[in-house]
Structure 1
Amino acid sequence: MLRVATWNINSVRLRIDQVARFVEEARVDVLCLQEIKCLENQFPRNAFADMGLPHLKIAGQKGWHGVAIASRLPIEPSDTFNACKLGHARCVSVRVRGVDIQNFYIPAGGDVPDRELNPKFDHKMDFYEQLTATITAQDKASRLLMCGDFNIAPSEFDVWNHRYMSKIVSHTPIEVETLNRLQAAGEFHDVVRDAYPEPQKLASWWSYRAQDFRKSARGLRLDHIWTSPGLTPSVIPKSAIIHEPVRAWEQPSDHCPITVDLDV
């Protein structure tokens, strides 16, 4: 079995003790991180070796963005689906036990859902378009796992208030359509939604503005794990977990981790 996790950590150096705790408690084999917020030479490699994840692939950036994959098992090179036209450190990939793992931190998109008025939103849409073009050309029989902070909550059951959030970047109709187009291009399974079918409400992110995120209950499901047709049969049914209690740890990230188990 291979347990894969994705987590927007919002500074890996600040939260390295939380990473170690989660890896130990959840028995993670491969950890995909977003927003590490450091350069490659600043990444806490020794701490990951100590927690049993010595095999690393890092794409760092000073003070912003950054993604990394840490593995208990040896990693092999993989062609990264680099879809960022601005050259940000938002994409990284490895191959573990024959599974191609692609980890993304997709742009949030700013506040205005208009490509002409908002360059950040145009960047987000361009990222999705480039990624969709790449996925369209892929062999659907390959064992591919796509994960990360996609910064879009697709369904009305992935947001706390569908009517209100439909006007807010992360759940606008154009974003939902764009995410659905990417998923359809790769014929991906959303392993979390497979484990927890609609109409169950799900979330993986809660704003820091609320002192009690559970009481405010204004979460969004922005973090995703998808599997290709060639890998989906290897997903252990209902193994996907949103680790919501991690969001309640001291000085947490605003995102919580997600895991899935693969029979590979």
Structure 2
Amino acid sequence: MISIATWNINSVRLRLDQVERFLKEQQPDVLCLQEIKVAEHLFPHDAFEKMGYTHRAVHGQKGYHGVATISKLPLKELTRHDWQDNGEARHVGVEVGGAGKGLLLENVYIPAGGDEPDREVNPKFGQKLDFLERMAHWADTVDRPSLIVGDFNIAPFEHDVWSHKALLKVVSHTPIEIEALDRFRNAHGWVDIGREYVPHAEKSYSWWSYRNKDWAASNRGRRLDHMWASPELAPQATSHTAHLDCRSWERPSDHIPLVTSFDL
């Protein structure tokens, strides 16, 4: 059995106490963090070492973006894909367990894409679509059971947002983004673990804007964070949990952690 968590922490140094609390309470074997906002040499390695997460793959940069995979289990870093094509730190791929026989785990932070869903007036939106296209080309080559997790910055289904009608023209839920994400999904046959455990008819969110002071009461969320498994791996999932309580902690991330367990 192995448990894997993903969390856009929105600055790992600012919220290190929250990460420590989550790890002590939930004890996942592996935690994938996005938006760590720190270069590798300034990452808080000592804190994770003391908690028993002695294996780490950190791909960071100063002040922005960045991903890190920390683990109690041995891991080997394999890849750092530049799907943004501009040098930003948005992916790290590792193998957890035995070399050549372990689980391939991809940790990704897809760009948000700016405010206007039109690449002609908003280059950031075009970059997001191109990022997804490069991911789809990569997915065509995946030939081992893999798990890709992280902040996809897309809520693909009707009940992944608080109002499908209101958000159809809002970046993260536009048809063009969903079509691009579907191309990535179909390139490998990825299985959306979150929606395997929460029926499509039910609302499911992982992000709530800081702009909404009473986020829990209004519950205007979006499901931007995902854990997708290869078709061979997905049936081995035994549980999937969204840790909503973390959004109520003091100075929280605007995202919550997700945890999936697998019987490998």
Distance of 1:156 and 1:81 partners within structure 2: 30
Deviations 1:83-134 (A, max 9, x none): 1211100001111121100001100000011112111001100100000001
Report deviation, 1:137: 2.0
Which one of the candidate residues 187, 193, 196 is aligned to 1:191?
193
Partner letter of residue 233 of structure 2?
L
Which one of the candidate residues 127, 134, 138 is aligned to 1:130?
134
Larger strand proportion, structure 1 or 2? 2
Aligned residue number for residue 73 of structure 1: 73
Distance of 1:7 and 1:41 partners within structure 2: 21
Distance of 2:20 and 2:157 partners within structure 1: 32
Distance of 1:252 and 1:196 partners within structure 2: 24
Aligned residue number for residue 118 of structure 2: 114
Aligned residue number for residue 93 of structure 1: 93
Asked if the contact 1:81/1:134 (under 8 Å) is kept, the reply is no
Shift >4 Å, 4+ stretches:
none
2:222 is paired with a residue of what secondary structure? coil
Partner letter of residue 227 of structure 1?
A
Answering whether residue 68 of structure 2 is matched by residue 64 of structure 1, we say no
Partner letter of residue 165 of structure 2?
R
2:117 is paired with a residue of what secondary structure? coil
1:76 is paired with a residue of what secondary structure? strand
Aligned residue number for residue 43 of structure 1: 43
Asked if the contact 1:32/1:67 (under 8 Å) is kept, the reply is yes
Which one of the candidate residues 215, 220, 223 is aligned to 1:221?
223
Asked if the contact 1:80/1:102 (under 8 Å) is kept, the reply is no
2:49 is paired with a residue of what secondary structure? helix
Aligned residue number for residue 16 of structure 1: 16
Answering whether residue 147 of structure 2 is matched by residue 145 of structure 1, we say yes
Distance of 1:204 and 1:34 partners within structure 2: 14
Distance of 2:201 and 2:87 partners within structure 1: 38
Asked if the contact 2:242/2:257 (under 8 Å) is kept, the reply is yes
Distance of 2:121 and 2:54 partners within structure 1: 44
User: 5+ residue gaps in structure 1?
Assistant: none
Root mean square deviation, CA, Å: 0.9
Deviations 1:117-156 (A, max 9, x none): 11100110010000000101222xx110000000000001
Q: Which of 111-120 and 144-153 deviates more?
A: 111-120
TM-score (norm 2): 0.96
Asked if the contact 1:81/1:102 (under 8 Å) is kept, the reply is no
Partner letter of residue 31 of structure 1?
L
Report deviation, 1:225: 0.2
Asked if the contact 2:115/2:170 (under 8 Å) is kept, the reply is yes
